[in-house]
Amino acid sequence: MSFPGQAVQRAWHLVDASNQTVGRLAGQVAQILRGKHKPTFQPNKDMGDYVVVINAEKVHFSGKKWNKKLYRWHTGYPGGLKERPAKDMLERKPEEVLKKAILGMLKRNNLRHQSIEPRLRIYAGPSHPHTAQLPLDSTIAIPSPPRARSGDFHFGLASYNSQKTVGMDPFKIPLQTKKA
């Protein structure tokens, strides 16, 4: 037995993108757009909320992606493949950098462009025209500031970070094998 159509309550979320890593921010915004943060989430229904992202011009990439990551598109003409590095793309269209990252985190189905994309609003600066939709106590939730990396910790090898191996190169630490 199926239930009649239930009205979906859509909330508005304000996200400040300043000093955030593009991929981490995109992953969390994509979850909200799909509605996976709700306890009533159903994968076959469109249950997501509206997301307003401000300060898109202040995002950053990790590593050497500013020069190595290329955004490619085709004009439709022969030999019309165009590409632009992330640094140039951020200067020209800072909204597109985040939009492409967020849409890349979503499932590739019909909901992606028809339903989810219209609920995503990205602005380069701190001002936006959606102050009436946002609640008064709207907290700029979502990700924490970027992680600080210490010199003696290698991500993925935390079990080797003991007192006797602090400061050593994690790839030169001998593996401990069980003796039979």
Q: Are residues 59 and 18 in the same domain?
A: yes
- Structure tokens, 1: 């037995």
Q: Are residues 144 and 154 in the same domain?
A: no
pLDDT digits (tens, 9 = 90+) for 150-172: 454 444 444 444 445 555 555 55
Asked if the structure places residue 3 within a domain, the reply is no
Name every residue whose Cβ is closer than 8 Å to that of residue 41 and which is 6 or more positions away in sequence: 34, 35, 47
Asked if the structure places residue 6 within a domain, the reply is no
**pTM of the predicted model, to two decimals?**
0.73
Asked if the structure places residue 76 within a domain, the reply is yes
Q: Are residues 76 and 99 in the same domain?
A: yes
Q: How many domains does the chain have?
A: 2
Domain holding 19: CATH number? Answer: 3.90.1180.10
At residue 24, the pLDDT reads 92
pLDDT digits (tens, 9 = 90+) for 96-135: 999 999 999 998 888 788 878 899 999 999 999 998 888 8
Segment 138-151 shows an average pLDDT of 56
Q: Are residues 81 and 142 in the same domain?
A: yes
Q: Which of 126, 128, 104 is nearest to 116 (CA)?
A: 104
Q: Are residues 41 and 125 in the same domain?
A: yes
Q: Are residues 130 and 52 in the same domain?
A: yes
pLDDT digits (tens, 9 = 90+) for 16-60: 998 899 999 999 999 999 999 999 888 888 888 999 999 999 999
Asked if the structure places residue 20 within a domain, the reply is yes
| Domain range enclosing 64 | 12-148
Asked if the structure places residue 92 within a domain, the reply is yes
* Gyration radius (Cα) of the chain, Å: 21
